[in-house]
Amino acid sequence: MNDVQFAFVDEYGNYGFDFEKNDVSTHFIIVAILVKGSNKEILEEKVEYIRQKYFQAGEMKSSKIRNNHKRRSLILNELKGLPFHIFAYVIDKRKINENAGIRFKKSFFKFLNRQLYDDLFKTFDQLELVADEYGNKEFMEEFKAYVKRKSIPDLFNFSSFGFNNSKSNILIQLADLLAGTIAKGYDKNQLSDEYQTFYKILEKHIIRLEYWPKDYRNFLVDTSKSENKTPYDEVILKQAVNLAYQYIDKSSNIEDIDEKDRVDFLKFLLLKTYQNPNEYIYTHEILDNLNAIRNQKINIHYFRSNIVSKLRDNGLLIASSNKGYKLPTCIEDLYDFVNLTSLNIHPMIQRITKCRDQILLATNNEIDILDKAEYEDIKRIVELSKGLV
């Protein structure tokens, strides 16, 4: 039986769309702290030690740190490297259309329920999900009811859901701390220039950080601060992001494991594009992310042949270079992809050409290994390369 996965969930923000009020958040953020059952006890011990060191007898809560950024950085650095991962969802309520049905409270929570359920309960066969039983638990109460409606217990599903008191559960306190930390990068009442420092500390722990509503404009950078931008760069970024979103939506209910791996890869590319649109991601970093919550590890061959190649076969735009992979955000990214691919294409065409020529010579031009109908395209390419067409 696989190692049980625990998820400790907390939220930042509230329902409401009157953003002129100081107590109405611009964002609603959900954080799930993921830890394997085999690591749960040691994680609890380590986090409890950090709580006692920085909070003494009180709970470890983001609100207690407030804008003491130095103290927050010290705490995050002590958490760095501990055996947990982060699933997070960032909903910008300001970008939800005024006439959208999701603005109704019931619809708002139902949408978030579905996101959390699909990502967690469909990913793990054995999931113990725990949330705070006190405080503003409206979202979690709705989620508990949603899980009961959706989940059908069987011999292969050992998942469960429950509430714990955050005062007695140190990992719910950790979820609170990290939800509040992520809010420093988004919510109008929490924004801080120090967020990038916090993100860098947590980066390797973050498995998923999803943004909603889905809009390619979330990924646009300030062109006034960017050099050598062309009028086509926004077109390229828009196409790459929209194709990724369309593929994710189309595959959301597909149970095929390979398809789930492709979706996870695309979500990771979207996260990295949001954080740094110009940065390539090394293959080992991608594999570390994809393998973080898997028992059966993905290897490089599988990644390239079953994930990247299949996505490209479906028309998705994925740039690559000797620095790794990324969603293309400018014309130069596409040139990188063409240049890298050409390094493989030209030698392969040359090898086929030399093999063909040797057989033609040996058989006095009677056998052409490219005469079969299925090789017609290759034959044209070979002859083009020799200037025969």
Write the single-letter amino acid at 215.
D
Whether 49 and 188 map to the same domain: the answer is: yes
Q: What is the pLDDT of residues 219-251, one digit of tens each?
A: 765 544 455 566 568 889 999 999 999 999 898
In this structure, the answer to whether residues 151 and 36 fall within a common structural domain is yes
DSSP 306: I
319 and 363 co-located in one domain: no
Task: Indicate whether 369 pLDDT > 50.
Answer: yes
Residues 88 and 125 both lie in one domain: yes
137 lies in the same domain as 247:
no
Q: Which residue has the higher pLDDT, 181 or 378?
A: 181
Q: What whole-number distance in Å separates Cα of residue 2 and Cα of residue 295?
A: 8
pLDDT tens per residue across span 288-312: 999 987 878 899 999 999 999 999 9
Q: Look at the chain and report how many structural domains it folds into.
A: 3
Residue 285 pLDDT level (bands cut at 50, 70, 90): very high
| pLDDT the model gives residue 166 | 60
Looking at the domain assignment, is residue 17 inside a domain? yes
Q: Are residues 195 and 90 in the same domain?
A: yes
**pLDDT computed for residue 253 by the predictor:** 73
Same domain (yes/no): 25, 158: yes
Which of 185, 213, 241 represents a domain boundary (last residue)? 213
pLDDT of residue 57: 85
pTM: 0.80
**The pLDDT value given to residue 224:** 46
Report, as an integer, the average pLDDT of 57-66: 90
Provide, rounded to the nearest whole percent, the portion of the chain with pLDDT above 90. 42
* Shared-domain flag, residues 195 and 245: no
Residue 244 lies in a domain: yes
pLDDT tens for each residue of 128-167: 888 776 555 677 777 777 777 766 554 344 456 565 656 6
122 and 180, same domain (yes or no): yes
94 in a structural domain:
yes
pLDDT reported for residue 366: 87
Burial degree of 135 (CB within 10 A; 0-12, 13-18, 19+): exposed
Determine the 3-state secondary structure of 214 from DSSP: coil
Q: Is residue 219 in a domain?
A: no
Q: Nearest 5 degrees, angle CA 279-CA 280-CA 285?
A: 115
Is residue 222, in this structure, part of any structural domain at all? no
Claim to verify: residue 321 and residue 358 sit in the same structural domain: no
What is the per-residue pLDDT across 352-368, written as a single tens digit (0 to 9) for each?
888 988 888 888 888 88
Q: Please give the pLDDT value at position 389.
A: 46
Residues 325 and 341 in one domain: no
pLDDT one-digit tens code per residue, 106-119? 888 888 888 887 78
- Would 313 be classed as within a structural domain? yes
pLDDT at res. 229:
61
What range does the domain containing 375 cover? 336-385
CA 50 to chain centre: 28
- Note whether 208 and 310 are same-domain residues: no
